Structure 1
Amino acid sequence: MMRRRTTLIGCTALVLALGATACGGGDVTAGGGDKALSGKTLTVAGVWTGSEQKNFQKVLDAFAEQTGAKPQFVSTGDNVSTVVGSKIEGGNAPDVVMVPQVGVLKQFAESGWLKPLSPAAEKTVDANFAPVWKNYGTVDGKLYGLYFKAAHKSTVWYSPDALAQAGVGQPSTYKEMLQAGQTVADSGLAAFSVAGQDGWTLTDWFENVYLSQAGPDKYDALAAHELKWTDASVVKALTTLGELFKDKQLLAGGQKGALNTDFPGSVEKVFGPEPEAAMVYEGDFVAGVAKDQYGKSIGEDAKFYPFPAVDGGTPPVVSGGDAAVVLKDGKNADAAMAFVEYLATPEAAAVWAEAGGFLSPNKKLDPNTYGDVTTRATAKSLVAAGDSVRFDMSDQAPAAFGGTKGAGEWKILQDFLRDPSDPQRTAAQLEAAAAKAYKG
C-alpha cells in the first residue's frame, strides 16, 4: 500500500488545481479537489512508450481525478526536438513536454518556446529537490524545467550465481572490477556484456570513468565545452576505458560482438536463458528488462553494485532524467502549469514509484513507496548524492554531438570500441565534432 505524505510545499498555487485538501493536513485523494480544471484539456508529449507510457498514464489519471482536467499523452519518439518543432509550426503545440535531455531543454528555452515555471513550482522545487536539479532546469537564470523522472546511471548489474561460481565479490575500484572480470573470464564466462550497437551506452561508460577520475569540476567544464576534448584528462579516461575495450576475454563476443549488441541484447546476455556474460553496466532501468523479459527477481537473481571509483577518485553518480516544461504556444496554460506544479510534489512521484520502473529525484518521496529493496537502494543512492550528482554529459551537449545515431560522440566512441589503440586520436576526433556542434 502506498504511503502518502500529507504536506505539500508551495501549495498555495495548487489550491486552484487540487482543491483545499491539498493544503490541509489530510491526504490528497482521488477526487478530493474542487474540479477547478473540469473539462479543460491538456496535451502532454514525451518519448515514453510501452510500460513507461502506461505507468505515466497513471500519473495523468491521478491528476485528472483530482482536478477534473482531461490530460492526454502523445508519444514523440526519440526525436523530441523535431516533433515538437513541427507541432509548434503547425499550430498544434502540446501544453507540456517531458524533455529527456538538458541540451534540448536549453534549445527550447533559447528558441523562445517555453514559459518560465510559476513561483509556486519554483518554491516546491527549492524545498523538494537538491539544487543541482534546479540548475539543470534553469536557462539564463529562469527555471523552465521540473525533473520528474530520473535515472541512476552508475550501477553495474550482475548475476550473483556467475560471480559466486568464479569466486569473486563486488569490487570497490575500477581496477578490482577488471581483475574480477578476468577471474570470471578464466572460469569460462565473459565478464561484461557491452551494448556497443547503441552509442549512448558508450557515452555512459566514458562519463562514469571521467567523473570519478577527473572530478566534478572538469566534468562540468567538459560538458559545457569550456574544456577541450583534447585535454589530458580526456585522453587518460579513454586510456582507462580502453583497458576494458581492448581485452577480448572481458567482452562477450569481443569488440565485434559488442558492436553488434544493442541495449536489450546486452541485458539478455547476462540474464537471458543462455547467459554469455556475468555483468552488464547500465542504469537502474536494467532491472526492468531483467524482470519483465526474463522473470528475474531483482535483489536475488539480479543484483547491482555501484560503479566503482577510478584511480582513487570518488565513486561517480551519473544521472539522466525527464523534465516537464510548459510551451508558450500550448492551448491551456493554466492546466499546464498546474500539472507541472503537481509533478513537483511527492504525491505525483508516488503514483509511478508504486507502479515500478521509476526513480524520483524528489527527496520528500517516502522511499518505502518503491516496491522492492533494490529500487529503494538505487533511489536512496541518487537522493543521497545531492549536489554531487552529475547529469549525463552527452544529454547536455547539442544533439549533433551527444545524441545522434551514427554521428558525433556516439559514432566516435563506437569506433574507439572497435579499435581502442589510440586514445589521443579519438580525443582529437571528439574535439573536432564537439567544436562544430557547439559552434552551430
Structure 2
Amino acid sequence: MRFGKAGRVVTAVAALGVSALALSACTGDIAANEDVDCTEYEEYGTFDGAEVTIGGTILDLEADRLVESWSDFAQCTGINIEYQGSSEFEAQIAVLAEGGNAPDIGIVPQPGLLARLAEGGWLIPASAEVEANVDEWWSEDWKQYGTYDGTFYAAPLMASIKGYVWYSPTQFEENGWEIPQTLDELTALTEEIAASGEKPWCVGLESGDATGWPATDWIEDWVLRLHGPEVYDQWVTHEIPFNDPRIVEAFDAVGEYIKNDDYVNGGIGDVSTLVTEAFQTAGLPILDGECSLHHQASFYETFWNAEGGDDVVVASDGDVFGFLTPPATAGDPLSVTGGGEFPVAFRDAEEVETVRAFLSSDTWANNRVSLGGVISANTGVDPENASSELLVQSIEILQDPETTFRFDGSDLMPGAVGADSFWRGVVAWVTGQSTQETVDAIESSWPSS
C-alpha cells in the first residue's frame, strides 16, 4: 500500500481487460449482512444493479479494511463496488486512462499525478455533493490539493503524518534515553546509541518502481524544519531551484544519518542495504532490539502487525511508539509533512459520484478510521475512533489549526521530478553520488513549463 507514498500502486481493473498488470485484488463481493441499519445511507438513494470499479494504491490488509469500510453503504444503496490494486500505479494509470481502460474511480496518491491526469482531459470534475462535503469537512488547503487549473476534481480520502521516528519504549527506558526535543538532541541521541557499538537507525528504501521515496520523506522533513514553510513552498513550486543551498543543507543533514555506516543499517547491514531493504520490513529490527530508530509515517503502524505479528502493541508503554522528528529549535511551532489520497473519476455516472460523495463524508471517514491503521484529516472524524494512541494523536495534530501542515513535497512536484528524478536521485546519492551532483541532476529534470 502507499498511504501518501508507500507502495505506490496503480489500479487496473481485471474486468476491463487490463491483464498486463500483476494485480492484487480485493473485490467488493461482501456477504449480505441482514442486520445493517440503512438509515444513515438513505440520502444516497438506491440503485438497481449499478456497478462501480475502484482502483487504488492500497493492498493486502488495508485493502480488506477499505472494502469493509463501504460494505454497508454498498448493500444499502445496491451499488456493487469492485476494488483492485496493482503495484504499478504511476507507470500505468495515464496509459489506462488514454486507452479508455481506467477504473471508474482511481485513488490517486499524488496531487502532481492528479494534475497530470486532469491536464490529459481524462478526469470528471467532482459533483456539487462531493464539493459540499469537502467545504464542510476539510480545510481549504486540502481542497486545493484536489484542484487543478481552477477545477475541483477530487476530495481527500485518508491522510498520513510523515516524520515519525519509531522506537521501543522499553529500550529507551532501560537505557535512560530521552525523547529528543530538537534536531541537535536527535543527533546526540544517535551518537550515544552508536557509541554503544550498535547502529541506531534502520532504513529501507526499496519499493519496486518507487524505490527511493522513503528518503525523499527525510529530505522534506529537514527542509521544513531547517528553513520553514515558506522555503518549503518555494522549493516545491520551483520558485527556488532544487539545487538551492538550503536544499543542499537539508540533504547533507540527512546524509549525516543515512549515508553513515556507523548509524545504519541496524539489524540489516551497511549503507548499501538501504536500497535493497523493503520499506515495509525495515523497521522490524526494533522489535528484536537490533535497531533503535526508524523514520517512517503514521501509516507504518499497519506494518508492525502485518509484518511483525498480531501481538505487537503500538503505545507509549507498548512494544513500539513514535515521536515526531523534532524542530530545529526548541519551542518552534509544530510543523509536519504528510500525505493523502484523492478518488478521481474517469466515468461520468450518477452511481460513480454517489460513491465519491460517500467517500468524502464524515460517515465514511469514521467508518474507516474505526477499522484501524489509518487516519484522516476530515474534521468530522472523532479522534477516539483511531486504533492506537499514536493515531489518536495524529488526528488531533491534523485537526489543530495551530499545526503547520505541508503536503509531501515530491507528491506536489511534477511527476518527472517527484515520481522520477527525485526518487532515482536519492538512490544514487545514498549509494555514493555527491549531494551537489544529485541536486543538480534533479534540477535539470524539472519541466520547463
Q: Output the TM-score relative to the length of structure 2.
A: 0.83
- Counterpart position of 1:112: 121
Asked if the contact 1:59/1:348 (under 8 Å) is kept, the reply is yes
Asked if the contact 1:163/1:184 (under 8 Å) is kept, the reply is no
Asked if the contact 1:166/1:184 (under 8 Å) is kept, the reply is no
Aligned-residue RMSD, C-alpha: 2.2
- Counterpart position of 2:83: 73
Which of the numbers 339, 347, 371 marks the counterpart of 1:320?
339
Measured after TM superposition, the shift of residue 260 of structure 1 is 3.2
- Counterpart position of 2:199: 190
Name the SS of the counterpart of 1:357 in structure 2. coil
Which of the numbers 255, 274, 277 marks the counterpart of 2:271?
255
Q: Is 1:240 aligned to 2:253, yes or no?
A: yes
Q: Is 1:306 aligned to 2:324, yes or no?
A: yes
Query: Could you tell me how far apart the structure 2 residues matched to 1:31 and 1:219 are?
Result: 41
Name the SS of the counterpart of 1:264 in structure 2. coil
Measured after TM superposition, the shift of residue 28 of structure 1 is 6.1
For residues 21-100 of structure 1, the aligned pairs below 5 Å read: 29=39, 32=42, 35-80=45-90, 82-83=92-93, 85-86=95-96, 88-89=98-99, 91-100=100-109
Q: Is 1:276 aligned to 2:290, yes or no?
A: yes
Query: Could you tell me how far apart the structure 2 residues matched to 1:68 and 1:146 are?
Result: 23
Give, as a single letter, the amino acid of the residue that structure 1 aligns with 2:134.
Answer: V
Give, as a single letter, the amino acid of the residue that structure 2 aligns with 1:258.
Answer: L
* 1:177-204 Cα deviation digits (max 9, x unpaired): 1111111222333211111443000000
Instruction: Select between 201-210 and 283-292 the one with higher mean Cα deviation.
Output: 283-292
Query: Could you tell me how far apart the structure 2 residues matched to 1:149 and 1:34 are?
Result: 21
Query: Could you tell me how far apart the structure 1 residues matched to 2:334 and 2:200 are?
Result: 21
Query: Could you tell me how far apart the structure 2 residues matched to 1:88 and 1:59 are?
Result: 30
For residues 352-391 of structure 1, the aligned pairs below 5 Å read: 352-384=368-400, 388-391=404-407
Q: Which has the higher helix share?
A: 1
- CA 71–84 in structure 1, closer or farther in 2 if over 3 Å, else same: farther
Asked if the contact 1:160/1:301 (under 8 Å) is kept, the reply is yes
Query: Could you tell me how far apart the structure 1 residues matched to 2:410 and 2:300 are?
Result: 20
- Counterpart position of 2:20: none
Query: Could you tell me how far apart the structure 1 residues matched to 2:111 and 2:403 are?
Result: 16
Query: Could you tell me how far apart the structure 1 residues matched to 2:223 and 2:172 are?
Result: 26
Measured after TM superposition, the shift of residue 413 of structure 1 is 1.3
- Counterpart position of 1:140: 149
Asked if the contact 1:96/1:325 (under 8 Å) is kept, the reply is yes
Asked if the contact 2:212/2:275 (under 8 Å) is kept, the reply is no
Query: Could you tell me how far apart the structure 2 residues matched to 1:322 and 1:34 are?
Result: 23
Segments of 4+ moved more than 6 angstroms: none
Q: Output the TM-score relative to the length of structure 1.
A: 0.85
- CA 57–369 in structure 1, closer or farther in 2 if over 3 Å, else same: same
Query: Could you tell me how far apart the structure 1 residues matched to 2:366 and 2:48 are?
Result: 23
Query: Could you tell me how far apart the structure 1 residues matched to 2:403 and 2:135 are?
Result: 13
Give, as a single letter, the amino acid of the residue that structure 2 aligns with 1:267.
Answer: G
- CA 81–97 in structure 1, closer or farther in 2 if over 3 Å, else same: farther
Give, as a single letter, the amino acid of the residue that structure 1 aligns with 2:339.
Answer: G
* 1:251-278 Cα deviation digits (max 9, x unpaired): 123322333322123112222xx43210
Corresponding residue pairs, total: 401
Measured after TM superposition, the shift of residue 385 of structure 1 is 5.6
Instruction: Select between 178-187 and 144-153 the one with higher mean Cα deviation.
Output: 178-187
Q: Is 1:161 aligned to 2:161, yes or no?
A: no
Give, as a single letter, the amino acid of the residue that structure 1 aligns with 2:157.
Answer: F
Give, as a single letter, the amino acid of the residue that structure 2 aligns with 1:276.
Answer: E
Give, as a single letter, the amino acid of the residue that structure 1 aligns with 2:414.
Answer: P
